[in-house]
Amino acid sequence: MPQARWPFSRDLSRGIATPPRFHRAAGVRSPLGAREQMRFIHTSDWHLGHTLKDMDRSAEHAAFLGWLVERIRDEAPDALLIAGDIFDRSQPSPAAQRAWYEFLLAAHAARPAMAIVVIAGNHDSGARLDAP
């Protein structure tokens, strides 16, 4: 009886397994063009506008959003998925809304071709997530 082959090649020096490469028939293209993988960044639960025992956390939020823009620039994802609770309440403060809209502008500037997919959470108002 023939032995089954492990469908992944192993790179033991890095301790990872990689999927096999599939050969395509002549003239057949991937839906994503020449690339066969989609890269994305997933994040959630930002809670912009949140305070902790009356302490303003806007500096923490600004640092996080700046870090995320740098990751977008460095990693060059095809899409950014933000899954809920962008704001801490359904009626966010003007400062929290400004941080959100400025982040959208910075993310788009860092990677213009990137799709940004936003899902409202139970703390969000879907109408407030739309950029003006």
What per-residue confidence (pLDDT) applies to 29? 52
What per-residue confidence (pLDDT) applies to 68? 95
Coil, helix or strand at residue 9: strand
What per-residue confidence (pLDDT) applies to 90? 83
Find the helix packing angle between 58-75 and 94-110, rounded to 10°. Answer: 10
CB neighbours (10 Å) of residue 59? 9
List, for the chain, all residue ranges whose pLDDT scores fall below the cut of 70.
1-36, 123-132
Alpha helices in 1-125 (DSSP H): 58-75, 94-110
What per-residue confidence (pLDDT) applies to 42? 93
